Structure 1
């Protein structure tokens, strides 16, 4: 009887491994949760990157459509998508940048080095705004309509095709 008890933790671990493996094999990693699409954008107030003054996100997204991009200086995919954000800015698309869990001096250096495509730069130092939006990882971009509704979400670096798809949903 005592020998069986010695193997009980191993049997439990093996059962859990089978359970998790079964879940992982049935899960499609390309499907991303879009829980807030079709719902109002969270009413948040975040500090401005340059001044530290509080800015209501609803005030700067009014008159949309607007793209809200969560990014970070420590995020390699954010660097990959940056030229696309610069291209959108050059086309006159209003993009709001939210620095997610990043130190403001690092964010400033990132934007100085790569260019600043944002109409407004806000700071989400603790990740609370990301939590409200349902951010699963940076970069993530949300399309906000003129009525403040979230029209679409893109997870991962924006490509020209993904940016066009987002903008098409605004028309």
Structure 2
């Protein structure tokens, strides 16, 4: 009977090994979201540009758009920022910003320095809207349809390859929304 107890550590080690080995083949950018095909959570948060103006989910309706979660403390946000500027300027895509757990003064300076691709920026200094949206961190980018429904979520930087995928999805959503 005591010999069986000798195998318990081996079995535990094998179980942990199988669990960790499975994780090697998972895509960290594919995080599930309970909000896909659901409206943006209701919120009332200040605008970065006009802090006395409160923005709501209604302000994000009307056109198929990207909602980009970003912050000045996020090095990957800076990495993707050039691509966002290109998307907004060259392709005319509407991008809304969600400045996440950041200081508004730093965010304004950052956008002045690196240029501003956003139609409007919601200040989520406490992270409450991000929490409601299931944001793990910055950057994350969501596709919103005309009704303000979240149709897709991308975790990580938007580079040219990711943009090609997002563009295709946005074009499909525009066809559906007609």
**Shared fold per TM-score greater than 0.5:** yes
Secondary structure of 1:117's counterpart equals: coil
The answer as to 2:141 corresponding to 1:141 is yes
The answer as to 2:56 corresponding to 1:57 is yes
- Runs of 4+ displaced beyond 4 Å: 17-22
Q: 1:20 to 1:54 in 2, by over 3 A?
A: farther
Q: Which runs of 5+ in 2 are unaligned?
A: 1-11, 172-178
Secondary structure of 2:96's counterpart equals: strand
Question: Would the aligned equivalents of 1:43 and 1:56 in 2 still touch at CA under 8 Å?
Answer: no
TM normalised by structure 1 equals 0.83
Residue 116 of structure 1 deviates from its aligned partner by 0.7
State the alpha-carbon separation in 2 of the partners of residues 115 and 134 from structure 1: 27
Structure 2 equivalent of residue 87 of structure 1: 86
TM normalised by structure 2 equals 0.80
State the alpha-carbon separation in 2 of the partners of residues 53 and 20 from structure 1: 53
Structure 1 equivalent of residue 33 of structure 2: 34
Over the residues paired in the alignment, what is the CA RMSD in angstroms?
2.1
Residue 18 of structure 1 deviates from its aligned partner by 7.8
Count, aligned residues: 158
State the alpha-carbon separation in 2 of the partners of residues 21 and 71 from structure 1: 36
Listed as ranges, the matches of 1:1-171 within 5 Å are: 22-27=18-23, 28-30=26-28, 31-90=30-89, 91-171=91-171
Residue 132 of structure 1 deviates from its aligned partner by 0.8
Question: Would the aligned equivalents of 2:39 and 2:150 in 1 still touch at CA under 8 Å?
Answer: yes
Residue 82 of structure 1 deviates from its aligned partner by 0.2
State the alpha-carbon separation in 2 of the partners of residues 137 and 162 from structure 1: 18
Question: Would the aligned equivalents of 1:45 and 1:54 in 2 still touch at CA under 8 Å?
Answer: no
State the alpha-carbon separation in 2 of the partners of residues 77 and 41 from structure 1: 24
Q: Which runs of 5+ in 1 are unaligned?
A: 1-14
State the alpha-carbon separation in 2 of the partners of residues 24 and 46 from structure 1: 40
